[in-house]
Copies of this chain bind each other. A is one copy, B any other.
Amino acid sequence: MKSAGIQQEQYRYEVYLKNAGFILTRGRAGVFKAAMETHGHFTAEDIVKLCVLHKPKISRATVYRSLHEMMEAGVVRGTAFGEKHQVFEHVYDEIPHHHARCIHCHQLFEFKDKGEDVRYRPILAKMGFRILGHEMHFYGVCKDCQEEL
């Protein structure tokens, strides 16, 4: 499940959808493809914008329904802190990335990390939780806002 492999095979969404237990349909394939091609974060409406360009178009209802299914299947996940609507990201990033939110200007900064965070693993292992991935959320004040204040 490495990103390189997925890209080589143009995401092979047929395979991923079937492995996730879905039957392959025009709507799901379109939503899945749009999500995979969107880098970073996206909202449901971002996907709708891409999907209504199809002919015939993929409807808003299908986009929402498919995104739900893809969350169930673990293909995308919700990742927001502060927004009033849901924000997603797909899970096929090669390197885990982390977030830092400025509490003043609300800008979101991302940074990559090649390592693994080991501190918390024993705690979760004791709880019987199988970790598939992780992400850090920092909050603070960004460079520009420090100068401003």
Contacts of A111 in B (CB 8 A): 120, 123-124, 127
Q: How does the 8 Å CB contact mask read for A108-136 relative to B, with 1 for contact and 0 for none?
A: 01010101010110011001111111111
Number of this chain's copies in the assembly equals: 2
In-complex Cβ contact of A136 among B80, B84, B113, B135 (8 A): B135
A80-B81, A136-B117 known; A129 and B103 CB under 8 Å?
A: no
Chain A residues touching B, range:
35 or more
Q: Say if the beta carbon of A22 comes within 8 Å of chain B.
A: no
Enumerate 14 A-B pairs (CB-CB under 8 Å) in ascending A order.
Answer: A74-B104, A78-B80, A80-B81, A83-B86, A84-B86, A109-B124, A111-B124, A111-B127, A113-B123, A117-B136, A124-B138, A129-B141, A130-B146, A134-B138
Besides A115-B119, A130-B140, 17 other A-B contacts (C-beta < 8 A):
A77-B103, A77-B139, A79-B81, A79-B137, A83-B86, A84-B85, A84-B86, A111-B120, A111-B123, A117-B117, A117-B136, A128-B143, A129-B143, A130-B141, A131-B138, A131-B139, A132-B139
